Amino acid sequence: MVEGLKCPYCGSKNIIFDYERNELVCADCGSVIEDRLIDYGFEHRFFKNRETTPRTSGNYTFRIHDNGIGGSLPDIHTVSFRQREKWRKMSRLQKKIRSNNDEKILEKSLRHLNRFIELLRPPSYVSETAGKILKKALIGKNYKEKTLREMAAAALYLAYKINGLPKSVKVYSKEVGIPHSRLWHAQRKIYESVKNLNKMIKEDDPTRYIPYLVNKLKLSRKVEYLAEYLAYLAKKEGLTNGKGALGIATASVYISSILLDEKRTQLEIAEAVNVSDVTIRNRYDEMVRSFDIEIMV
């Protein structure tokens, strides 16, 4: 029953929507109140005796090769045994006609991307950005399965950076199980195919790594605030020029943990983000000298 409507002929409020004819009908007097309605929602079709299982289209997304606008068939386990073979054939036919030969490459790569998304569980906007990058990068390309997997991982890594949530490439490489060198080659392929991608990536800022470090090392919010302030001063003084943002972030956290009596060793911090303790030591020395900080050992 459709709420809020009233039959203009008999005054009844018992108005129903006829899905087969796409009409609003009064259930009491049978009058057609409005016909040829346009439904702006998901595409749907209800089957006889299956009122609770509509055939629907999905949400618009870049994580599926047809952007999620294709239909989906009901679960074959919910139909009778005699009908299952029919549904299996229809399902196989749907998969064939849903993507052409060019789209099959993209479909394979997006399958890898969705596996990485399930593994890392990034925010939805990061996932959608990765899907969009991958689609642009694979236009007119024909790569092998291994390369498609690497490009899917590289697209997700770049999506993190574009959305201001950068990850250490060494940590990310370990999470997805792909060597750093292979990720770099995959990124290069994406840069060659997607124009102006550099303009989309935000400047690497040390403060973006600090919340992750503090959480990983189980430090207090005071350490996080002081570390962010030190990283801000380092950037202001030009200490970040030619230096990796992650090195500045780790040194800031290390200094802050000492000053606030929550000390973590350089080795502990280095292992948290998979960088060398030598990098932390060098950035630490530069920052202590520049800011005239006295550390009591």
Using 50, 70 and 90 to split pLDDT, how confident is the model at 107?
confident
* Percent of the chain topping pLDDT 90: 26
Is the pLDDT at 1 greater than 60, yes or no?
Answer: no
Query: Can you give the pLDDT at residue 40?
Result: 46
Quick check: 206 and 235 in contact, CB under 8 A? yes
3-state class (DSSP) for residue 142: coil
pLDDT of residue 258 exceeding 50, the answer is yes
- List pLDDT tens digits, range 143-175: 889 999 999 999 999 998 888 777 888 889 989
Confidence band (pLDDT; 50, 70, 90) for 198?
confident
The pLDDT-based confidence of 112 (bands split at 50, 70, 90) is very high
Q: Which two tokens stand for residue 6?
A: 């009233």
Specify the pLDDT at position 189. 92
| Residue 236, C-beta contacts closer than 8 angstroms, at least 6 positions apart | none
Share of the chain above pLDDT 70, in %: 77
* Pair 110, 65: CB distance under 8 Å: yes
Question: Torsion angle, CA of 212/213/217/219, rounded to 10 degrees?
Answer: -90
Query: pLDDT-based confidence at 275, cuts 50/70/90?
Result: confident
What does the chain come to in residues? 297
Domain ranges for the chain: 101-200, 206-291
pLDDT-derived band of residue 209, with 50, 70 and 90 as boundaries? confident
HSE of 255 in the Cβ direction (CA atoms, 13 Å)? 29
Q: Which amino acid is at 168?
A: S
- Are 208 and 163 a contacting pair, CB within 8 Å? no
* Statement: residue 85 has pLDDT above 60: yes
Mean pLDDT value of segment 56-61: 57
What digits encode the pLDDT tens for the residues 26-51? 888 777 777 766 554 445 554 554 44
Structure confidence by residue, pLDDT tens digits, 214-232: 988 999 999 999 999 999 9
**Mean pLDDT over each residue of the chain, to the nearest integer:** 80
Which CATH code of 3.30.460.80, 3.30.420.40, 1.10.472.10, 3.40.50.720 fits the domain covering 101-200?
A: 1.10.472.10
For residues 193-221, average pLDDT: 85
Alpha-carbon span 7 to 275, nearest angstrom: 72
* Across 13-34, average pLDDT: 78
* 50-54, 159-163, 270-274: the lowest-pLDDT one: 50-54
Give CA angle at 235 (230, 241), nearest 5°: 135
Position 54 scores a pLDDT of 47
How far is the C-alpha of 249 from the C-alpha of 224, rounded, in Å? Answer: 10
> Cα-atom radius of gyration of the chain, to the nearest Å?
28
| Res 13: pLDDT | 82
- Do the domains 101-200 and 206-291 sit in the same CATH topology, yes or no? yes
- Across the range 258-281, mean pLDDT stands at 89
- Looking at domain 206-291, its CATH architecture is Orthogonal Bundle (1.10)
pLDDT of residue 256: 93
